[in-house]
Structure 1
Amino acid sequence: MKKKLILTILAIVAFGIFGYCYVWYGGARNVSAEDAVFNVTSKSIIAEFDADIDKSNTKYLEKAIAIKGIVSKADQKQVILDNTIVCDLKELDPAIKEDQEITLKGRVVGYDDLMGEIKLDECTVINND
């Protein structure tokens, strides 16, 4: 009986350590290497979020998407498309200019309903028209 108890406790501890290491050291997600789950325009995705936030969050949140729009503002590490999509870039791309059409791929991290903005991170340039 005592042997079974010790083996059970050791098994639980081993699974706990494995789970901890898996979660903590599992590696960072590389969105640029992933295929985009959805290809959308900035206007269409904003319309979806305005219509139904919960449904859109379920559909897009934490997923890699390709999004096309006109650059409203571009600075060191951030691009804003059509004044509504805020994209944090992985690396600075000096070729990005305001008022140009561009397609970016990134991970949707959320929708700010107060500002009416969708936020993406780990963005990379797919197409710089």
Structure 2
Amino acid sequence: MNKKIRYGILILLVAAIAIYNYTYQEHRDISSEKATYTISIPTLKKEFATNDSLAFAKYQNQTIELTAKITTIDTENKAVILDNKVFATFNDSLPKDIVSGKKIKIKGRFLGYDELLEEFKIDQSSIIR
């Protein structure tokens, strides 16, 4: 009986440590990661139109890189819209040299596709120079 209690306490301790480490793990630094996918917006649209669940499983939470033209700038929310199809948010304030109509290359974490707005969502974006 005494051994069972010791093993039970040991198992609970190991489980508690594992849960703590999983919960409080360090955040990813997307800007320093290598992009998993370098893709164009038309290709991304085509993949989601063909099979959205397969495309979502492929790109969700992955670091992607794309080049597109800035169509809208939202400085208040630190975000830009690219080619009227990609809503990209930045962690820090937007660089001052960002202007509408300019073509930029960004890298960020793919969050998903908003069917209502027909936009792809990317966060933790950074500009690649």
Q: TM-score, normalised by structure 2?
A: 0.91
What is the Cα deviation at residue 125 of structure 1?
Answer: 0.3
Take 2:97 and 2:2, find their aligned partners in 1: how far apart are those partners? 67
Question: 1:124 matched to which residue of 2?
Answer: 126
Deviations 1:71-128 (A, max 9, x none): 011122001101010001122211111111111100011111222111000000013x
Take 1:57 and 1:37, find their aligned partners in 2: how far apart are those partners? 14
Moved over 4 A (4+): none
Letter in structure 2 aligned against 1:38: Y
- Which residues of structure 1 form unaligned runs of 5+? none
The total of aligned residue pairs comes to: 126
- Which residues of structure 2 form unaligned runs of 5+? none
SS at match of 1:20: helix
Question: 1:105 matched to which residue of 2?
Answer: 107
Give percent identity, aligned residues only: 27
SS at match of 2:27: coil
| RMSD value, Cα | 1.2
Aligned pairs for 1:89-100 (under 5 A) are 89-91=90-92, 92-100=94-102
